[in-house]
Amino acid sequence: MLKIENLTVVYLGVISVLHGVSLSAPEQSITALLGGNGSGKTTLMRAISGILDIYEGDIQKGEIELNKVKLNGLKAVDITRKMNLTYMMEGRPIFEYLTIKENLKAAASCRWDSNVSRDMEGMLAYFPPLVKRLQSKAGYLSGGEQQMLCMSMALMTNPKFILMDEPSLGLSPIMVKEIFEVIGRINSEKKIGILLSEQNAMVALKVSSHGFVMDNGRVVMDDSAKALLSNADIQEAYLGSADQDGKDYKEAKRYKRRKRWLG
């Protein structure tokens, strides 16, 4: 289990971003992390993956554990190599001037085993559009294909747990559907735990078993994915209310007031 307790993060020594965040994400399941821009989702991902210092961030207090092993203070490369936890960053970061195959080999450089070729073949079964383009430069891929490549690179690290940051960002609805179908398959077939950070609450909750909602650096709600999908506040804030008849401006602002109970 990935477990975060009372985590407080500050940038540049003065900018407080996370304020006592606590959550847990079981292995072999998908846990959704919901919230708008600036809610603290990416900062939490950076803290877990060990790259927070690159952005001049610092964990002031709190603990991060994976299977009862403390991650605080570990280098990012050790978190990937020894703890088998991989961070798939937002924005589709790839090596644009390398081929698809070269990108996959680069991602596998953190491994010490000799099964890279075998795993590459098995992983590409999830992404048929990439199979015939292994020698193509990654920069010429469509946005959806680049996201497939990012997911493939994450899988090439041989992870037991993946942090996925906004995998639907900038993609068409059809491609979003395809990507999330693959996310569900990866979880069910490979038994890889996933912490899924998303603004698209509908697609995230449909593949998740549990969800946490963040706002202004705090967890303001958590429940089963099914319960969150039917929650009136979640529907109004993230999914759009099904019945807008008779609602005035004050009522439309209801969630914005209520979601800060813990603020």
Could you tell me if residue 120 is inside a domain? yes
Could you tell me if residue 238 is inside a domain? yes
Rounded to a whole number of angstroms, the distance between the first and last alpha carbons of the chain is: 27
CATH code, domain with 33: 3.40.50.300
Could you tell me if residue 49 is inside a domain? no
Could you tell me if residue 45 is inside a domain? no
Could you tell me if residue 55 is inside a domain? no
| Domains contained in the chain, number | 1
Predicted TM-score of the model (pTM): 0.88
Burial class (CB in 10 A: 0-12, 13-18, 19+), 33: buried
Tens-binned pLDDT, residue by residue, of the chain (263 aa): 899 999 999 999 889 999 999 999 998 899 999 988 888 999 999 999 999 999 999 999 999 999 999 999 899 999 998 899 999 998 888 999 999 999 999 998 887 777 888 888 888 889 999 998 899 999 999 989 999 999 999 999 989 999 999 998 888 899 999 999 999 999 999 999 999 998 888 899 999 999 999 988 999 889 999 999 888 777 777 655 545 454 544 454 555 545 454 44
Domain that includes residue 195, residue range: 26-39+84-258
Could you tell me if residue 67 is inside a domain? no
Tell me which residue has tokens 């072999």.
28
Helix (H, G, I), strand (E, B) or coil at 203: helix
Residues 6+ apart with CB under 8 A from 259: 213, 215, 220, 221, 233, 237
The conformation of residue 1, written as its DSSP 8-state character, comes to -
Tell me which residue has tokens 């979640």.
234
